[in-house]
Every structure is written in structure tokens, then in C-alpha cells.
Structure 1
Amino acid sequence: MPRFMGFVRMEEGIGMPPQSLFEAMDSYIGERAASGVFLDGGGLYGTEDAVNFVVRKGELSRVDGPYAEAKEVVGGWSLLEYPSVEDAVADQQKFAELHAEHWPEVTVVATLRQISEGPDAAAD
């Protein structure tokens, strides 16, 4: 079955989501974990303690957070497995709809990317 990474991007420093979103997400994730779709995932702390290693033209540099230029950050991630790409896309839309319903005042980008199974594997 194809595997996917889900990412949630949002503006940093916008505060905590409402309790209703936490409750809706607990239910959503619990159902998917029980069915074997949700393999792992979680929220991420802000960029204040983040570390980037940048390789540019063969030179390595380290850049520590916080990043003043960052407007949008990855706030959460998930590892998912679905029978098909269509199932994954439909379920990612449900995930995004939970955010629209329970936290409408923020802009959230829910991204779904299929995980490559190697250089010779074609995406479904």
C-alpha cells in the first residue's frame, strides 16, 4: 500500500488551537490509528530551538533558530498508509476540513506527499 507524509504548515506564534480542534483531532487520529491508516505523527515545537544545516556550493553552515524570516512553519506531521492515492487525498481533505471548522481564523496548509519507495518505483 502506498505510504504518505502529511504536513501541516501555519504561521508561527499564532497561539494554541482551540480545545475543540484537539478533541476533533483525537477522534480523527484515533479512528485512523485503529484502522491502520495512521502510522505515526505529532505536533512540532516552534523554531526557537530549531537547527538547520545548510549545504551551499560544497560549504556547510549551521543556522540556529528562531528564524525571523520564517513566515510559515511546519507545525505537525504524520506518516500514513492508504490503499490508494485517491483514498489518501480524500482523507487529507477531511483533515483540512477539521481545521476550517474548528480554527477558522487561521491559515493552515495541509500538505500530502507520497513517499518514494526507491529510485525505480513509480508514483501511483
Structure 2
Amino acid sequence: MEENIGMPPQSLFEAMDTYIGERAANGTFLDGGGLYGTEDAVNFVVRKGEVTRVDGPYAEAKEIVGGWSLLQYDSLEDAVADQQAFAQLHADHWPEVTVVATLRQISEGPEPAEA
């Protein structure tokens, strides 16, 4: 989401509490939380075998990760539908901001080699 845009409206907090509460009750929501801005962030960049430290805030950052959640679904279709519902909460309660809600699967390690 955009950085330094202020606090979300109370109605979004309330809608998210309901959304998360329902998913926690049915076992879908496993963990999650919000993140502070980049003012205190520290990045470690590995490039060509060298590690460098870059302290925030980052003037070039147009969008930042504002939060994360770990959810478990029975199917990809269920995950996609629920992610759309999550995005719709933001459209309904905070329409003046741009939010990108990304759905990704968790890797459990390398795929087994085929024999």
C-alpha cells in the first residue's frame, strides 16, 4: 500500500476484526498482523556475494507491505474468492487509497525429483 497516507478508518478496523474473527473461528486464519512504515526498516541486500545494509526510510519506495496474513484453504478457488472479499473490505471502507492484496502459496521446499 501507499506509505504515509494516515491511519485507516475505524470502519475498516471493525470490518477486519469481523473478517479475521470469522476465519480464526473456522480454522482458516492461522496468523497475521500489520506492519509499521519503513522509517525504522533495515534492508540487507546481497549482491555478487557482498552484503550491504540499507536503513529506511526509503525515498524510492512508492508502495510498502502494510501487513501479512497466513491462511489455509481447502482449494485455490476458496483462497481466490476469500482474497477478493478481503480486497473488497478495503474498497468499501477506505476507497481513497490504493491497496494491492497479493495471494501467494507457501513453498514447502524443493519439489521432489522425478525418477
TM-score between the two structures when normalised by the length of structure 2:
0.95
**Larger radius of gyration between Structure 1 and Structure 2:** 2
1:119 alignment counterpart? 110
Question: Aligned equivalents of 1:104 and 1:27: distance in 2?
Answer: 19
- Residue 120 of structure 1: how far off its partner (Å): 1.2
Question: Aligned equivalents of 2:2 and 2:80: distance in 1?
Answer: 23
Higher strand share: 1
Does residue 1:40 correspond to 2:31, yes or no?
yes
1:17 alignment counterpart? 8
Give the one of 72, 84, 98 matched to 1:93: 84
Question: Aligned equivalents of 1:116 and 1:75: distance in 2?
Answer: 22
2:50 alignment counterpart? 59
Structure 1, gaps ≥5 residues long: 1-9
The one of the two structures with greater contact order (alpha-carbon pairs below 8 A, sep at least 6) is 1
Question: Aligned equivalents of 1:92 and 1:77: distance in 2?
Answer: 12
2:75 alignment counterpart? 84
Q: How many residues align?
A: 112
Question: Aligned equivalents of 1:86 and 1:119: distance in 2?
Answer: 24
1:105 alignment counterpart? 96
Residue type of the partner of 1:92?
Answer: Q
- Residue 41 of structure 1: how far off its partner (Å): 0.3
- Residue 117 of structure 1: how far off its partner (Å): 1.7
Matched residue SS, 1:11: coil
Give me the identity figure in percent.
Answer: 87
Question: Aligned equivalents of 1:116 and 1:84: distance in 2?
Answer: 16
Structure 2, gaps ≥5 residues long: none
- Structure 1's consecutive aligned runs of 4 or more residues displaced over 3 angstroms after TM superposition are none
| CA RMSD after TM alignment | 0.8
